[in-house]
């Protein structure tokens, strides 16, 4: 999971995942979408995404085609959903405990 999170920390890699989410694209077509970045840099980004399991690579002759790994992205989403839900539940518990403590303290000063 760490490799996937680190891979997606880079904005261009997130954009690459978006590009190949619903269609398989050759590396050249992906690189063409990033005019400010070299083809070599896009190739490195694709390698990192592939190693993190976020994209599949398929060779067709001399071309390399990429598409999003929906299964791995679903696992990542489930992890993040659980992370945020658990964190929010802990925050709620702390807030409720603080509120109960405040009410208990305020109740004692009124009597």
Q: What is the pLDDT of residues 78-105, one digit of tens each?
A: 988 887 777 677 777 778 888 888 888 8
Q: How many residues does the chain have?
A: 111
Decide if 54 contacts 4 (C-beta within 8 A): yes
Confidence of residue 108 (pLDDT cuts 50, 70, 90): low
Q: What is the pLDDT of residues 2-32, one digit of tens each?
A: 899 999 999 999 999 999 999 999 999 999 9
Q: What is the pLDDT of residues 68-81, one digit of tens each?
A: 999 999 999 998 88
DSSP-derived letter for residue 63 is E
| CATH placement of domain 2-69 | 1.10.10.10
Structure tokens that stand for 31 in this block: 């690189």
Q: Which pTM value belongs to this model? A: 0.74
3-state secondary structure 64-102: EEEEECHHHHHHHHHHHHHHHHHHHHHHHHHHHHHHHHH
- Sole residue written with tokens 């050759």: 26
């Amino acid at each position: 999971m760490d490799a996937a999170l680190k891979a997606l920390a880079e904005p261009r890699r997130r954009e690459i995942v978006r590009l190949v989410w619903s269609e398989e694209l050759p590396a050249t077509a992906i690189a063409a979408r990033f005019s400010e970045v070299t083809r070599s840099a896009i190739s490195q980004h694709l390698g990192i995404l592939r190693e993190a399991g976020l994209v599949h690579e398929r060779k067709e002759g001399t071309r390399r085609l990429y598409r999003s790994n929906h299964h791995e992205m679903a696992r990542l989403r489930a992890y993040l959903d659980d992370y945020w839900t658990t964190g929010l539940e802990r925050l709620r518990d702390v807030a409720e405990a603080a509120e109960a403590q405040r009410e208990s303290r305020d109740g004692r000063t009124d009597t």
